[in-house]
């Protein structure tokens, strides 16, 4: 769980590749673009980065999944919260799409996500995205030595409540590094001072997921997760490093 300086350096490079991937995808988020084409962009950017960089999600089979994941990214549109499989769906004006990317670089993983607007979107969708992004920043600010996992969750949940949106409580952040998913589990809600204490060298994937509706979710046929009430959802994520000073964002 605690990473060495050498391991952190590898994660920094993986995080740089991940950020470059998201920026390339962002430039292609337009009405009429197919989700599959965004997946191909990610594959190309990651593989061309060199050093054996590889899309971490491709072929990944988490506990409970029926089959390995078939794509390089997750592309989750509108009410789909996470794990949307890129297909032939064409983005439409007014959609929002969450792109989740994982990079494996020389044996170490980074994980990051952003929600993007497709053309002009509703004010409600804008507020949802802005709030989720703000919650990520507030959660990261709490990721300091001596604080706890509960402090991160408390800050994230407080932001959701303040802005009238809802935490998707069934989905969480996690440790990341030698594996894509490591301890500890990072809930997007919590009590101040509760849970595991944060230590220098920890690397965490903090990822608030908010919805305009209740935040209750269901698993769909393609094993993605969508809101039960069909309300819009947003997802922002960074891989961060706990240091003796302020947290370092490895995917920025």
Residues 6+ apart with CB under 8 A from 65: 223
pLDDT tens, position by position, 165-213: 999 999 999 999 999 999 999 999 999 999 999 999 999 999 999 999 9
Alpha-carbon gap, residue 135 to 67, rounded angstroms:
32
Enumerate the known binding-site residues for a divalent metal cation: 100, 111, 174, 207, 237
Enumerate the known binding-site residues: 83, 100, 111, 174, 181, 207, 237
pLDDT score of 240: 99
The pTM (predicted TM-score) of the whole model is 0.96
| Residues 198-237: b if buried by 16+ CB within 10 A, e if exposed | beebbbbbbbbbbbbbebebeeeeeebbbbeeebbbbbbb
pLDDT score of 144: 97
Residues 6+ apart with CB under 8 A from 223: 65, 66, 67, 83, 85
Burial of 42 (0-12, 13-18, 19+ CB in 10 A): buried
Question: Domain residue spans in the chain?
Answer: 5-249
Eight-class DSSP state of 67: S
Token pair 């990072």 is at which residue? 186
Enumerate the known binding-site residues for substrate: 83, 181
pLDDT tens, position by position, 28-43: 999 999 999 999 999 9
Alpha-carbon gap, residue 28 to 172, rounded angstroms:
28
Closest to 131 in 3D by CA, of 96, 157, 112: 157
Cβ–Cβ under 8 Å, residues 202 and 56 = no
Beta strands 217-219 and 203-206 are unpaired
pLDDT score of 66: 80
pLDDT tens, position by position, 125-178: 999 999 999 999 999 999 999 999 999 999 999 999 999 999 999 999 999 999
| Dihedral angle computed from the Cα positions of residues 34, 59, 202 and 26, in that order, rounded to the nearest 10 degrees | -10
Provide the CATH number for the domain formed by 5-249 in this structure.
3.90.230.10
The model's confidence at residue 67, banded by pLDDT at 50, 70 and 90, is: confident
pLDDT tens, position by position, 74-113: 999 999 999 999 999 999 999 999 999 999 999 999 999 9
Closest to 55 in 3D by CA, of 99, 7, 18, 9: 18
């Amino acid at each position: 769980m605690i990473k060495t300086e050498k391991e952190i350096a590898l994660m920094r490079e993986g995080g740089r590749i991940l950020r470059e991937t998201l920026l390339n995808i962002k430039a292609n988020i337009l009405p009429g673009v197919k989700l599959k084409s965004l997946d191909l962009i990610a594959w190309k950017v990651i593989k061309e980065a060199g050093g054996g960089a590889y899309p971490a999600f491709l072929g990944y089979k988490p506990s409970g999944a029926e089959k390995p994941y078939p794509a390089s990214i997750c592309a989750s549109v509108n009410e789909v919260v996470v794990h949307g499989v890129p297909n032939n769906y064409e983005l439409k004006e007014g959609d929002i799409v969450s792109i989740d990317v994982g990079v494996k670089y020389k044996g170490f993983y980074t994980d990051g996500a952003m929600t993007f607007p497709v053309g002009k979107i509703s004010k409600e969708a804008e507020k949802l995205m802005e709030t989720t992004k703000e919650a990520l920043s507030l959660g990261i600010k709490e990721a300091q030595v001596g604080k706890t996992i509960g402090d991160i969750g408390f800050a994230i949940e407080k932001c959701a409540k303040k802005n009238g949106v809802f935490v998707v409580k069934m989905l969480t952040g996690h440790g990341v590094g030698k594996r894509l998913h490591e301890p500890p589990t990072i809930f997007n809600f919590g009590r101040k001072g509760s849970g595991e204490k944060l230590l220098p060298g920890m690397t965490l994937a903090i990822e608030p997921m908010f919805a305009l509706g209740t935040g209750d979710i269901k698993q769909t046929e393609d094993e993605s997760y969508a809101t039960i009430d069909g309300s819009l959802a947003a997802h922002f994520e960074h891989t961060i490093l706990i240091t003796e000073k302020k947290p370092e964002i490895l995917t920025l």
